[in-house]
C-alpha cells in the first residue's frame, strides 16, 4: 500500500491549490473527491468565465470579506491575490482586469482554469481518486491517524487537509461533509446560513410578477432595522424576480437580511432602492421642475421619457394613481416630490432568502478561533488542516471567495508538506 504524506479531501479550488502547494513543497499527495470530476464549482464560477481573484489593495480585499475577513491577514502573507495572478500567469493563463478589480482569463473560459490546475496537479505527481467518498477521519489522542472511505478502505497518513466546501451549490459536491469530521476532532461549527443569495418578498407586486425581469442599473440598495436605522447599503445592479430580488447588489445585502430577521425576531425587514444614488432628492426635484418649466405643454408621461426605466415609471404612475396625460405645467409640486421620493426611497418588505443550497456561498462553518491562521492547522489535532468554504469565512461575489479558497488552500498545503517532509 502506497504511503502518503498528505491526503487532501475535496477537489474544488482550495483542494486543488492545497494539492499543488503540498506536492510543490515535496510531499507525496493523494487527492480524494467523491464526484466524477474535479473543479466542478470552479467550472461554473463567474458565469462560466471564472473570476480567479480580485486585484484590490489588500485592505480593500479584506473589507470585501465581511465574514471574518481579518483572519485572512495571515494566509495573505503566505499567498495573496497578486501571488494568485502570478501563479496563473506562470502556468500560461493570461488574465484581464474588469470592473471593481475582478480578474478573468482573457479567453473568458473557466474550463481553461480548471484544466490548467488539473494539469499542474498531475505534473507534480499527485495521485487523484475521483468517485471516492470519505466516511470519516480517524484520530489518535492528539493527531490524525487515517482516512476511512465508504468502501471501508483505510489509508494511513500523518496529515489531512479538509477542503470539502460548505453547503451551497450541492450539485457540485459541497454537501457539508467536512463538518462532522471537524466536530469529531473537537471543533466548533458556527451556525450555517445562506449568503450571496437572492432575497424573497411577499409584496403584492412581487407575487403578481408586475416587475419580474426588470433590471435596475447603478442603484443603491439598503437594509433597515425595524426602527428605521440603516444596517447596510450596497451599490450596483439588481433585478426583480418572481420571488423577490436578485443581482449583485441584492446578493451582497442578503446576509444582512438573514441576520436582521434573526436578531430582531421579525417576519419582515424593510429594504430601500435608490435609483439615483449620485444625486440628492432636492436636486432631482429641481431637475423635474425645470424640465416642466421648459416644456409646459408636454404631457407628464412624455416629459419623463428616459428619466428612469419605462417599466418602473409605469409601475409608479399606477401606484401613485397619476394621470400621466396631464400637461407638465399643471402637475403640482407635491406630485413631483412624491414621484422623486419613490425613486429615491422605493421600499420593499422582504421576508428572507432562498435556501442555503440555492446560495452562492455558505455563511458560518468551522470556527476560525480554533485554526492557526499562518498555517491553517487545527488547534485541536496535529496533522489536521482546513481550507476554503468549510471554514467560517465568506466574502461577497466578485472573486473574493475564490481568493480565500486559493489563499487558505495554498497555505494549508505548504504548511502540511513542511510539517511532514521537513520535520
Residue 2's pLDDT band (cuts 50, 70, 90): confident
Q: Does the pLDDT at position 394 exceed 80?
A: yes
254 in the same domain as 141:
no
260 in the same domain as 145:
no
pLDDT number for residue 3: 87
258 in the same domain as 176:
no
174 in the same domain as 47:
yes
Domain for residue 397, yes or no?
A: yes
| Cβ neighbour number for residue 86 with a 10 Å cutoff | 13
244 in the same domain as 181:
no
| Cβ neighbour number for residue 384 with a 10 Å cutoff | 25
Q: Does the pLDDT at position 208 exceed 80?
A: yes
pLDDT above 70 covers a percentage of the chain that reads: 100
- Domain with 141, as residue range(s), is 6-193+363-421
**Lowest mean pLDDT: which of 43-52, 99-108, 359-368, 400-409?**
43-52
Q: Does the pLDDT at position 168 exceed 80?
A: yes
Instruction: Give residue-wise pLDDT tens across range 90-100.
Output: 999 999 999 88
209 in the same domain as 90:
no
Is the alpha carbon torsion for 141, 192, 59, 405 positive or negative? positive
Domain for residue 358, yes or no?
A: no
What distance in Å separates the CA atoms of residue 314 and residue 374, rounded to the nearest whole number? 56
User: What total number of domains does the chain contain?
Assistant: 2
Instruction: Give residue-wise pLDDT tens across range 256-291.
Output: 999 999 999 999 999 999 999 999 999 999 999 999
pLDDT number for residue 30: 98
Strand partners, 54: 102
Radius of gyration of the chain (CA): 25
pLDDT number for residue 423: 62
Instruction: Give residue-wise pLDDT tens across range 25-56.
Output: 999 999 999 999 999 989 888 888 999 999 99
Residue 421's pLDDT band (cuts 50, 70, 90): confident
pLDDT number for residue 310: 93
pLDDT number for residue 100: 86
pLDDT above 90 covers a percentage of the chain that reads: 94
Q: Does the pLDDT at position 422 exceed 80?
A: no
216 in the same domain as 349:
yes
Q: pTM of the entire structure?
A: 0.93
Domain for residue 1, yes or no?
A: no
pLDDT number for residue 77: 98
SS (H, E, C) the chain: CCCCCEEEECCCHHHHHHHHHHHHCCCCEEEECCCCCCCHHHHHHHHHCCCCEECCCHHHHHHCCCECHHHHHHHHHHCCHHHHHHHHHHCCCCEEECHHHEEEECCCCHHHHHHHHHHHHHHCCCEEECCCCEEEEEECCCEEEEEEECCCCEEECCEEEECCCCCCCHHHCCCCCHHHHHHHCCCCECCCEEECCCEECCCHHHHCCCCCCCEEEEEEEEEECCCCCEEEEEEEEEEECCCEEECHHHHHHHHHHHHHHHHCCCCCEEEEEECCCCCCHHHHHHHHHHHHHHCCCCEHHHHCCCCCCHHHHHHHHHHCCCCCCCEHHHCCHHHHHHHHHHHHCEEEEECEECCHHHCCEEECCECHHHEECCCCEECCCECEEECHHHECCECCCCCHHHHHHHHHHHHHHHHHHHHHHCC
202 in the same domain as 149:
no
Q: Does the pLDDT at position 173 exceed 90?
A: no
Domain for residue 142, yes or no?
A: yes
Mean pLDDT, rounded, for 172-192: 95
pLDDT number for residue 312: 96
pLDDT number for residue 99: 87
383 in the same domain as 349:
no
Amino acid at each position: 500500500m502506497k504511503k502518503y504524506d498528505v491526503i487532501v479531501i475535496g477537489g474544488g479550488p482550495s483542494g486543488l491549490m492545497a494539492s499543488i502547494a503540498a506536492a510543490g513543497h515535496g510531499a507525496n499527495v493523494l487527492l480524494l473527491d467523491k464526484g466524477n470530476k474535479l473543479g466542478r464549482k470552479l467550472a461554473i464560477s463567474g458565469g462560466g468565465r471564472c473570476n480567479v481573484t480580485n486585484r484590490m489593495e489588500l485592505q480593500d480585499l479584506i473589507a470585501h470579506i465581511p465574514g471574518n475577513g481579518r483572519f485572512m491577514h495571515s494566509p495573505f502573507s503566505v499567498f495573496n491575490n497578486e501571488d494568485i495572478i502570478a501563479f496563473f500567469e506562470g502556468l500560461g493563463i493570461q488574465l484581464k482586469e474588469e470592473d471593481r478589480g475582478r480578474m478573468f482569463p482573457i479567453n473568458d473560459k473557466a474550463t481553461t482554469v480548471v484544466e490548467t490546475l488539473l494539469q499542474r496537479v498531475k505534473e507534480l505527481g499527485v495521485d487523484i481518486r475521483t468517485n471516492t467518498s470519505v466516511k470519516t477521519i480517524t484520530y489518535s489522542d492528539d493527531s490524525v491517524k487515517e482516512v476511512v472511505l465508504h468502501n471501508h478502505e483505510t489509508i494511513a497518513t500523518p496529515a489531512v487537509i479538509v477542503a470539502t466546501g460548505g453547503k451551497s451549490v450541492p450539485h457540485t459536491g459541497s454537501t457539508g461533509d467536512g463538518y462532522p469530521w471537524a466536530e469529531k476532532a473537537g471543533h466548533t461549527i458556527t451556525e450555517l446560513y445562506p449568503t450571496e443569495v437572492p432575497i424573497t418578498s411577499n409584496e403584492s407586486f412581487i407575487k403578481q410578477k408586475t416587475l419580474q425581469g426588470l433590471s435596475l442599473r447603478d442603484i443603491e440598495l439598503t437594509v433597515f432595522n425595524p426602527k428605521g436605522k440603516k444596517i447596510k447599503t450596497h451599490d450596483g445592479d439588481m433585478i426583480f424576480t418572481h420571488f423577490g430580488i436578485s443581482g449583485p447588489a441584492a446578493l451582497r445585502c442578503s446576509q444582512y437580511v438573514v441576520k436582521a430577521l434573526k436578531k430582531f425576531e421579525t417576519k419582515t425587514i424593510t429594504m430601500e432602492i435608490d435609483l439615483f444614488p449620485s444625486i440628492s432628492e432636492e436636486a432631482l426635484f429641481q431637475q423635474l421642475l425645470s424640465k416642466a418649466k421648459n416644456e409646459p405643454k408636454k404631457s407628464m408621461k412624455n416629459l419623463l421619457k428616459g428619466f428612469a426605466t419605462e417599466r418602473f415609471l409605469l409601475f409608479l404612475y399606477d401606484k401613485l394613481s397619476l394621470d400621466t396625460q396631464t400637461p407638465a405645467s399643471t402637475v403640482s409640486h407635491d406630485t413631483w416630490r412624491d414621484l422623486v421620493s419613490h425613486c429615491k426611497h422605493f421600499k420593499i418588505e422582504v421576508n428572507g432568502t432562498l435556501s442555503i443550497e440555492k446560495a452562492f456561498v455558505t455563511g458560518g462553518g468551522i470556527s476560525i478561533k480554533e485554526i492557526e491562521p499562518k498555517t491553517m492547522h487545527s488547534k485541536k489535532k496535529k496533522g489536521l488542516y482546513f481550507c476554503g468554504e468549510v471554514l467560517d469565512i465568506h466574502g461577497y461575489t466578485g472573486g473574493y471567495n475564490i481568493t480565500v479558497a486559493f489563499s487558505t488552500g495554498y497555505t494549508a498545503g505548504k504548511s502540511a508538506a513542511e510539517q511532514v517532509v521537513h520535520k
